[in-house]
Chains A and B, each alone.
Chain A
Amino acid sequence: NAGVTQTPKFQVLKTGQSMTLQCAQDMNHNSMYWYRQDPGMGLRLIYYSASEGTTDKGEVPNGYNVSRLNKREFSLRLESAAPSQTSVYFCASRGQGAGTEAFFGQGTRLTVV
């Protein structure tokens, strides 16, 4: 099993460009998450999807949009990238219910110049 797969691994954008980060999981998990991690900092929740067809804002949603395409896939879109969005982005998934552990992708290192 691949677990949680994120693409791309690295990306450099110019200010104002748009891009979509892809995430797919093969564990049949209901819940999926997008986090950002700035250097030396913790993870901050951007958006999450408790189940297919639902999405909700996290702690830092401004400047981002998400799509839960199906149960496997959860994408994160930056419509107009800004230098403040330079970060490492992690996708995670969890099974149904509280108390299940989260499984993480390997991260996408995004630099906006």
Chain B
Amino acid sequence: SQQGEEDPQALSIQEGENATMNCSYKTSINNLQWYRQNSGRGLVHLILIRSNEREKHSGRLRVTLDTSKKSSSLLITASRAADTASYFCATDEISGTYKYIFGTGTRLKVLA
């Protein structure tokens, strides 16, 4: 089974609304990263949050991390039609194996 489970699996919102997606993971981690994928293309890195951080911002992105609950959330504010994509979390396990596991993803659709 996969390390990360995203929730919801799919999300449809209107342009201008905020989109929140969540990621839960199973093992202790060094950091967690969020990626975006457009239409089956390769993933593109969005933001990294380290295990000793609780919140991080980058432009319209806000990421939180709760290591006690083994969960993270990605908030996209003031969404645009161009934000339509799939979003995945990925984790580096604290064991340092270099194994890099992705979650199941959230498919976001922003309606113009």
Q: Residues on A close to B: CB < 8 A? A: 4, 31, 33, 35, 37, 40-45, 48, 50, 56, 58-59, 88, 90, 92, 94, 98-99, 101-107
A9 → chain B closest CB, angstroms: 12
Evaluate contact between A43 and B43: CB separation under 8 angstroms: yes
Measured in the bound complex, the distance between the Cα atoms of B6 and A33 in whole Å is: 21
Interface residues of B in 1-41 (CB under 8 A from A): 2, 4, 6, 30-31, 33, 35, 40-41
Q: Is the CB of A42 within 8 A of B98?
A: no
The reply to whether A98 and B30 form a contact with Cβ atoms under 8 Å apart is yes
A90 near B42: Cβ-Cβ < 8 Å = yes
The count of residues in chain B whose C-beta lies closer than 8 Å to any C-beta of chain A is 29
Complexed CA–CA distance, A108 and B100 (Å): 20
Name B50's closest neighbour in chain A (CB-CB): A99
Closest to B49 in A: A99
Q: Which residues of A contact B31 (CB under 8 A)?
A: 98-99
Cβ contacts under 8 Å, A104 to chain B: 42-44
- Name B residues whose Cβ lies closer than 8 Å to a Cβ of A: 2, 4, 6, 30-31, 33, 35, 40-45, 48, 50, 88, 90, 92, 96-105, 107
Q: Which 6 A-B pairs have the closest CB atoms?
A: A104-B42, A101-B45, A50-B98, A98-B92, A42-B104, A43-B102
What residues of B have a CB within 8 angstroms of the CB of A92 in the complex? 42-43, 100
Are A42 and B42 in contact, with the CB atoms below 8 A?
no
Neighbouring B residues of A41 by C-beta, 8 Å: 104-105
Cβ–Cβ < 8 Å partners of B105 in chain A: 41-42
Complexed CA–CA distance, A37 and B105 (Å)? 11
Q: How far is the CA of A37 from the CA of B2 in the complex (A)?
A: 13
Q: How far is the CA of A42 from the CA of B102 in the complex (A)?
A: 7
